[in-house]
Amino acid sequence: MAERRGPEPRLALPFLLLLAVTAARAGDARQEQAVRALARRLLGPRAAAVSLSVDPALAAGGPDTYRLWSPPGPAVAVAVTGSSGVAAAAGLYRYLRDFCGCHLSWSGAQLRLPDPLPRLRAEIRAAAPGRYRYYQNVCAQSYSFAWWDWARWEREIDWMALSGINLAPAFAGQEAVWQRVYRNLGLNQSEIDKYFTGPAFLAWNRMGNLRRWAGPLPPAWHFKQLYLQYRIVERMRSLGMTTVLPAFAGHSLPRGVFPRVNATRLGHWSHFDCTYSCIYLLDPEDPMFQVIGTLFLKELIKEFGTDHVYSADTFNEMTPLSSDPAYLSRVSSAVFKSMTGADPKALWLMQGWLFQHQPDFWQPAQVRALLHGVPLGRMIVLDLFAESKPVYQWTESFYGQPFIWCMLHNFGGNHGLFGTVEAINHGPFAARHFPNSTMVGTGLVPEGIEQNDMVYELMNELGWRQEPLDLPSWVSRYAERRYGAPNAAAASAWRLLLRSVYNCTGVCVNHNRSPLVHRPSLHMDTELWYNTSDVYEAWRLLLSAGAELGSSPTFLYDLVDVTRQAAQQLVSDYYLSIHQAFQSHALPELLTAGGVLVYDLLPELDSLLSSHSLFLLGRWLENARAMATSDQEAEQYELNARNQVTLWGPSGNILDYANKQLGGLVLDYYTVRWSLFVSALVESLNSGRPFHQDQFNQAVFQVERGFIYNKKRYPAVPAGDTMEISRKLFLKYYPSALRHSLAGPA
């Protein structure tokens, strides 16, 4: 039976409501002060030659706008006015980027300013093409931000402002508020302790996927996170950003609540059994739904204030109890009602991941029902993976609910050069021109950050543009700004990377599938979307630029990253040789390929990574320990940190999902695993007994688990000369690499 529906109100209503909700947060004077303070943090005394001001009238009620010009007189080189603090910061970055040749990224800043600062010949005025530039994936809270202190948060918020981000979650400290709510509802501490996961897994506890694993949360954790959250929301708002706070989605229920409510246990999540998953979902009609939801949000607002935007995901990677559209509408209505119970102006920000994750369940009728449980314009959907699997296209633009076109790009915070530059260069513009489009902005939603800076810089720039860029010339300028000097070899290297690793077309999923970072077997994936010789050639070109650019920190970062990518390609080649030697019972060849891989290539890669501060396992682990207030907490946090990047669960439940190529991890985890594999194959050939993957898996699990508990302290400071190590690897491996790639796919 066809679903009955009346005429749908379009655009006008949603957009009016969005305007109402995003009325000015901090006063203009406060935003002005905040953006000036940012400029001083960034530029030091040189900030004096830049005049920054905030004038909401500049936007005339439309999207964020900035204006740059050079006033007469020698004191001020450039004046920047923004319609908000964020718009002014974006204008400042535009000036630094396009006129001073500067660059700011996760892996470092290149802020060598011309002296005197250049003056503009003509005024520049830019308006964002949409209302929102969104940033952050809920998973990044765990994969990247888990151990951040205020200094690191401050840098990130500065980067967000300069990138023009004006909408972002502020999720820290929510467990402290939940704990208060649970206590009010009569739960005792041991019931609560059996619910929260450890710090490195909170993202999935919040989404109703996981409970208890690697927990509980110590009291000091809550205090520290509350402290951070106060500072985060204060800073974001002072710059004119809209904070997104968490809200009740129906599943944040420790078991003690159950006798009194109608809650249904959902199925298990991913490869976890019910020991750590199978969360309970409250019936949307149960009166306690509103009580709990409103109580939580009121407590949260009392603590942190609000900008009226709330995030909730009821069915993230979880199959609903029923596909009856009426049920799905009841659920979303209940979630929204519990929001408005605490804040009548509430706007619900929802991840649209579920629709493309379980497309069999989420047919048009189900999607429409969930979305229409909320008045049009009171919800914003994040089209989370729009660069590869846009949902707006098959849902008539989310059936009238506003949406943000988001680039997901990264899974699990994996290293690995990757990009879908054509999709992000054209996707947002196509989405805006889609019939009856309800698109209200663009977003960056990587599961983990601090990788592939180029892609994020590109996406941020596109967030302010009215049409696509010319990519090859853009990337050449990118290289120049990033290294602070024009260099033909470096520009060529980047153009090669652009057309190869960064140009994945079709449905591309950036999960690093390299054999390097996965448990060895005889069935590993070595397929790639690009021509590997482009990466080897980029490596050669970067090395040749080393004499000129070797003092640039961002250059050294990229040299490590490209060398790492080349090494990862080489690992695939050695794996294929090992595989072939084993199949053809060629013991000497197996020993040679296995020996080079285990005793040379991987250890050399480890020393390369160990030479750069941003590729150290020790940094991740020491940051975890630094959050602790006792030895016991330090142990717990470190185990959290180690487990997340390896086994992901007690028994390798989501094994290697969040793999990283870090100095220390490559040697003591990946290499040991490969060594065991090569030994097992050699043993099999020697004894004539077949290789059994199951037996190997049991043995290798002991190695993986052993790494987590090895008690070794890894250095958090780099050692060794990056250029020298990269060059050594190059001299040893480049010719063979070229042979492999020129031979084409086997």
C-alpha–C-alpha distance, residues 218 and 138, integer Å = 22
Burial class (CB in 10 A: 0-12, 13-18, 19+), 16: exposed
Nearer to ligand NAG, 116 or 287 (CB): 287
CB of 527 to ligand NAG, least distance (A): 12
C-alpha–C-alpha distance, residues 195 and 543, integer Å = 51
Nearer to ligand NAG, 358 or 531 (CB): 531
CB of 662 to ligand NAG, least distance (A): 30
CB of 312 to ligand NAG, least distance (A): 17
Nearer to ligand NAG, 396 or 633 (CB): 396
Cα angle, residue 385 at apex, residues 158 and 441 outer, rounded to 5°: 55
Nearer to ligand NAG, 363 or 521 (CB): 363
Q: In which element (H, E) is residue 288 found?
A: helix 287-304
Q: Do the beta carbons of residue 406 and residue 443 sit within 8 Å?
A: yes
Helix (H, G, I), strand (E, B), or coil: what is residue 389?
coil
CB of 621 to ligand NAG, least distance (A): 33
C-alpha–C-alpha distance, residues 366 and 386, integer Å = 20
The binding site for ligand NAG (CB under 6 A) comprises: 10, 188, 190-191, 256, 262, 264, 283, 321, 396, 421-422, 435-436, 471, 498-499, 503, 505, 531, 533, 742, 744
CB of 224 to ligand NAG, least distance (A): 24
Strands 124-127 and 132-135: unpaired
C-alpha–C-alpha distance, residues 320 and 207, integer Å = 14
CB of 327 to ligand NAG, least distance (A): 7
Nearer to ligand NAG, 87 or 501 (CB): 501
C-alpha–C-alpha distance, residues 308 and 495, integer Å = 43
CB of 330 to ligand NAG, least distance (A): 8
Nearer to ligand NAG, 275 or 505 (CB): 505
Nearer to ligand NAG, 508 or 703 (CB): 508
Helix (H, G, I), strand (E, B), or coil: what is residue 217?
coil
CB of 82 to ligand NAG, least distance (A): 32
Give, to the nearest 10 degrees, the angle between helix 174-184 and helix 287-304.
Answer: 130
Strands 78-82 and 167-169: unpaired
Helix (H, G, I), strand (E, B), or coil: what is residue 275?
coil
CB of 569 to ligand NAG, least distance (A): 12
Largest CA distance in the chain: 86
Question: Which one-letter amino acid corresponds to residue 51?
Answer: S
CB of 43 to ligand NAG, least distance (A): 33
C-alpha–C-alpha distance, residues 52 and 74, integer Å = 16
Question: Which one-letter amino acid corresponds to residue 71?
Answer: P
Nearer to ligand NAG, 66 or 474 (CB): 474
Nearer to ligand NAG, 539 or 620 (CB): 539
C-alpha–C-alpha distance, residues 371 and 359, integer Å = 15
CB of 396 to ligand NAG, least distance (A): 5
User: How far is residue 30 from each of residues 55, 83, 235, measured CA to CA in Å?
Assistant: 12, 13, 10
Nearer to ligand NAG, 242 or 425 (CB): 425
CB of 531 to ligand NAG, least distance (A): 4
CB atoms within 10 A of CB 709: 9
CB of 331 to ligand NAG, least distance (A): 8
Nearer to ligand NAG, 469 or 682 (CB): 469
C-alpha–C-alpha distance, residues 81 and 28, integer Å = 11
CB of 742 to ligand NAG, least distance (A): 6
Q: Do the beta carbons of residue 427 and residue 673 sit within 8 Å?
A: no
Q: Do the beta carbons of residue 605 and residue 561 sit within 8 Å?
A: no
CB of 311 to ligand NAG, least distance (A): 22
User: How far is residue 473 from each of residues 192, 625, 725, measured CA to CA in Å?
Assistant: 55, 44, 31
Q: Do the beta carbons of residue 43 and residue 257 sit within 8 Å?
A: no
Peptide bond between residue 116 and the one before it cis (omega within 30 degrees of 0)? yes
Nearer to ligand NAG, 505 or 651 (CB): 505
Instruction: Reduce the secondary structure of 140-174 to three states and give it as a string.
Output: HHHHCCCCCCHHHHHHHHHHHHHCCCCEEECCCCH
Question: Which one-letter amino acid corresponds to residue 408?
Answer: L
Nearer to ligand NAG, 422 or 600 (CB): 422
CB atoms within 10 A of CB 287: 10
Nearer to ligand NAG, 494 or 696 (CB): 494
Cα angle, residue 65 at apex, residues 64 and 71 outer, rounded to 5°: 150
Nearer to ligand NAG, 457 or 656 (CB): 457
